Structure 1
Amino acid sequence: MGMFTRAGAALGALGLVASLALAGCGGDPEQARFVGGSDPTASATPAEPTAVNGPPLPVTPADGSTNRPVSAEIAATLPDGAKVSAVTLTAADGKQVEGRLRADGSSWVPSTPLKYGTRYSATVTATAADGGTREGRSTFTTMAKPKSMIGSGLYLFDDKEYGVAMPVVVEFSPGIPKKDRAAVQKRMFVQTDPPQPGAWHWIDGGTQAYYRAPEYWKPGTTLSVRIALAGIPLSNGKYGNVDRVATAKIGRAFEMKVDNATKRMTVYEDGQVVRTLPVSLGKKKTPSSSGTMVVMEKKESTVFDTRDDPDPDNRYVTEIDFAQRLTWGGEYIHAAPWSEHVQGRQNVSHGCVNVSTANARWLFGRTKIGDPIIVTGTERRLAAGNGWTAWSLSWSEFVKGSALPVPEGGAGSPF
């Protein structure tokens, strides 16, 4: 078991996240391309009504306002019973901004961040129940690019295929203050095809947020994600850095279940048992974590270097084949030819799931990032945030971590 700090992991996650950093085994722990349901290539503005009646609608941002964040959404104060029927937003250069109205009608969200230091003109048209229309206009200017921004990362890549337990994982550095999480969460859009409800859950410290459904994703699901942080103001004087967008696919159902009592891994594909493997888990001094984890990273060959571990008994440098990361603390599934003689009978690892070289090669060739592994019966419970732990909680516990109310069964698309 080696030492791997989450601080290092957070830094590695910033930007469109590249491969995750490796440490040793163990240690403590084209449906909706625009996320939220809109299509960036399609105009979100219906035809203008022919007649406009009544006084102007008050529009937000207010007419003549300056220094507006580039995350600004367009809204209007509506008469009772009226609904927004059209929104246009045009930059000073005459280019029209695409966007989509939220499902609750509360605001119109631009498909991409507004530009810094730019003047925009907005027009909102509302239609009453009797067919009459009202219109409001506003010209406002966005702020200059701020100097103090957070870092962020999205663990999802375009056109990649993931396992059924792949959560949408967003990282923030520094963490998002509690008072800001609801506003940030409103700017984190997820759409699934076919539709499946879901919810966000914040890890203590606000350095990570996970999105998942009540159950694993349906095989073949398309996940369309927009983490629209660019320019969002925070209470600590910082601003969101960029928007991150990805559309990915969920593959077949593949699941691994490890029982410490039998020291066996049972492998399921599409609900059917395809193989049972003997394993060796963590010895009592360095137990494996019990809980639902997901494969976060795969390395066909690597080196575990735990010479910085405070316990001299846990310091080693070892070449490892077919390594699949499960936790930030350094737990992996990997080939362990040195323990093959006790696999299925005795736990001797530093917290990892040891399998034979042949079985490790077989597993490595079949797993995807996001495939779940459930370990039961060990001396240690999986710690929240030690890996992508979105599935280590029941659904009722998970939704308690949302910064916004979650309807029974889960939240749907905001559009």
Structure 2
Amino acid sequence: MAVGAIVAVALSLTACSTSSSPSAGPAGGAPAPRPVAQVSISPSPGSGINPTTPVVVQAVHGKLTTVTVTNASKGNTVAGALSPDGAKWTSTEDLAYGASYRVVADATGTDGKTVTQQSTLTTVSPAAQAFPALTPAPPAPGLTFGVGQIIGVSFDHKVTDRAAAENALTVTTTPSQPGSWHWIDDRTLHYRPPSYWQPGTTVKLDAKLYGVNLGSGVYGKTDRSATYHIHDSWIAKADGATDQMQIVHNGAVVGTMPISMGKDATPTHSGPHVISDKQQQVVMDSCTYGVCPPSPKAYKSTEFWAERISNDGEFVHENPASVGAQGSTNVSHGCINLNPQNAQIFFNEFGLGDVVEAVNTPGGPLPIYDTYGDWELNWTQWQAGSALHH
């Protein structure tokens, strides 16, 4: 079913009865006639509705016997529920965009007569329907994420009413933690807490975007939801001055590894990085981000036990060729190099959403748009990127 929207409604109402009301009897003798059923259908004529707004049919002085809401072009009927007293029927599913619906309701009055009421509803046709892609994608059962994991929504059309979009998004955390959205660009917004997630947190995202006007004639295409589970805290602290990387598990240092970071010509970005992908074998090609031969910065090589920490070509990975420099000199193209044994240990312990913090490197901070550069902003800066915190 298409997503919801503000609806232009053309509503024509007719009513008929199988018989007229009983006439009054002779003066002084006949009882008062029982009232006929009265049926109302909302929305009323001339009102605009959103497809997520239920169609409601009510009967006074009687009970509803049948109610049908039918898509005129497709012929399918809209599901609904009748109240226990038979006086009210409410649709239980949304309408579609650009569709006409015929509503027909029958009610039997206290006079025993049947009354029929009809109406026609026509819904709006959006200029475009924006699909919300979720970041990360809804995970497979058992997949968990690190304390640095960013939650995000990316639309395939520009959003001009950012507040409407944010109001349609609900993040529920257990245990409860504060958080805020931040717009990365006019199609993408991310969500994070003031500092890393608490280990063991469950994060549920509900994107109730069906029927939401996102501005400029663009409406949400569908509702979506996802639940993410946060595992233990794993944070690697890479120091370009000592060429050592501490491994911190739930706040305790459990190991230290010699490393080689980016050389001055191709420095590692400073600040928090978040692992977004991991592969046992990766072909690293600088051409993928625009640095191609004959540039002296160009490279192409196959690396092992590789975990991506930015889209700027930065990984934590094994590099046997730099083992002699690890622990003493920074010689990489921006990656954090490990010896084969430590690379496998790191690969086995660290996964999606885990954090690598780089310090004492001449590289500037990750741009916020670089996958998960979100943690480069302090909490005040982050909140300023929300349409609801102004």
The 2-side partners of 1:298 and 1:330 are apart by: 13
The 2-side partners of 1:65 and 1:264 are apart by: 71
Which 10-residue stretch deviates more, 285-294 or 305-314? Answer: 305-314
Aligned residues: 300
Judging changes above 3 Å, is the alpha-carbon distance between structure 1 residues 262 and 295 closer, same or farther for their aligned structure 2 residues? same
Q: Is 2:367 the partner of 1:383? A: yes
Task: Considering fraction of residues, name the structure with more strand.
Answer: 2
Question: Residue 184 of structure 1 aligns to a residue in which SS?
Answer: helix
Which residue in the other structure is 1:193 paired with?
Answer: 174
Q: Is 2:195 the partner of 1:215? A: yes
The 2-side partners of 1:318 and 1:191 are apart by: 43
For residue 284 of structure 1, report the CA deviation from its aligned partner.
1.1
Which 10-residue stretch deviates more, 236-245 or 384-393? Answer: 236-245
Q: Which runs of 5+ in 1 are unaligned?
A: 1-58, 75-89, 98-109, 122-138, 407-415
Q: Identify the match of residue 273 of structure 2 among 287, 293, 300.
A: 293
Which residue in the other structure is 1:241 paired with?
Answer: 221
* TM-score, reference length from structure 1: 0.65
The 1-side partners of 2:279 and 2:255 are apart by: 22
For residue 273 of structure 1, report the CA deviation from its aligned partner.
0.9
Contact kept, 8 Å, 2:258 with 2:326, in 1: the verdict is yes
* TM-score, reference length from structure 2: 0.69
Q: Is 2:367 the partner of 1:352? A: no
Q: 1:166-315 counterparts in 2 under 5 A?
A: 166-177=149-160, 180-203=161-184, 205-307=185-287, 309-310=291-292, 312-315=295-298
Letter in 2 for 1:153: A
Question: Residue 299 of structure 1 aligns to a residue in which SS?
Answer: strand
The 1-side partners of 2:175 and 2:183 are apart by: 25
Judging changes above 3 Å, is the alpha-carbon distance between structure 1 residues 95 and 396 closer, same or farther for their aligned structure 2 residues? same
The 2-side partners of 1:111 and 1:333 are apart by: 51
The 1-side partners of 2:275 and 2:264 are apart by: 24
The 1-side partners of 2:127 and 2:329 are apart by: 56
Q: Identify the match of residue 365 of structure 1 among 343, 348, 351.
A: 348
Letter in 1 for 2:166: Q
The 2-side partners of 1:190 and 1:172 are apart by: 17
Question: Residue 345 of structure 1 aligns to a residue in which SS?
Answer: coil
Judging changes above 3 Å, is the alpha-carbon distance between structure 1 residues 111 and 396 closer, same or farther for their aligned structure 2 residues? farther
Question: Residue 401 of structure 1 aligns to a residue in which SS?
Answer: coil
Q: Is 2:310 the partner of 1:327? A: yes
For residue 187 of structure 1, report the CA deviation from its aligned partner.
0.8
Judging changes above 3 Å, is the alpha-carbon distance between structure 1 residues 239 and 348 closer, same or farther for their aligned structure 2 residues? same
1:341-367, CA deviations, whole angstroms, 9 ceiling, x for partnerless residues?
101111111111111121111111111
Letter in 2 for 1:387: T
Quick one: higher RCO (CA 8 Å, sep 6+), 1 or 2?
Answer: 1
Q: Is 2:145 the partner of 1:165? A: no
Contact kept, 8 Å, 1:277 with 1:359, in 2: the verdict is yes
The 2-side partners of 1:275 and 1:224 are apart by: 33
1:278-320, CA deviations, whole angstroms, 9 ceiling, x for partnerless residues?
1111111111101112111111112112345246223332111
Question: Residue 296 of structure 2 aligns to a residue in which SS?
Answer: helix
The 1-side partners of 2:102 and 2:146 are apart by: 42
Please, what is the CA RMSD of the aligned residues? 3.1
Judging changes above 3 Å, is the alpha-carbon distance between structure 1 residues 114 and 299 closer, same or farther for their aligned structure 2 residues? farther
Letter in 2 for 1:257: K
The 1-side partners of 2:343 and 2:92 are apart by: 44
Judging changes above 3 Å, is the alpha-carbon distance between structure 1 residues 340 and 150 closer, same or farther for their aligned structure 2 residues? same
Q: Identify the match of residue 132 of structure 2 among 152, 155, 178.
A: 152
Judging changes above 3 Å, is the alpha-carbon distance between structure 1 residues 273 and 232 closer, same or farther for their aligned structure 2 residues? same
The 1-side partners of 2:100 and 2:274 are apart by: 44
For residue 405 of structure 1, report the CA deviation from its aligned partner.
2.4
Judging changes above 3 Å, is the alpha-carbon distance between structure 1 residues 343 and 143 closer, same or farther for their aligned structure 2 residues? farther
The 1-side partners of 2:122 and 2:240 are apart by: 58
For residue 151 of structure 1, report the CA deviation from its aligned partner.
4.5
The 2-side partners of 1:187 and 1:140 are apart by: 29
The 2-side partners of 1:289 and 1:278 are apart by: 18
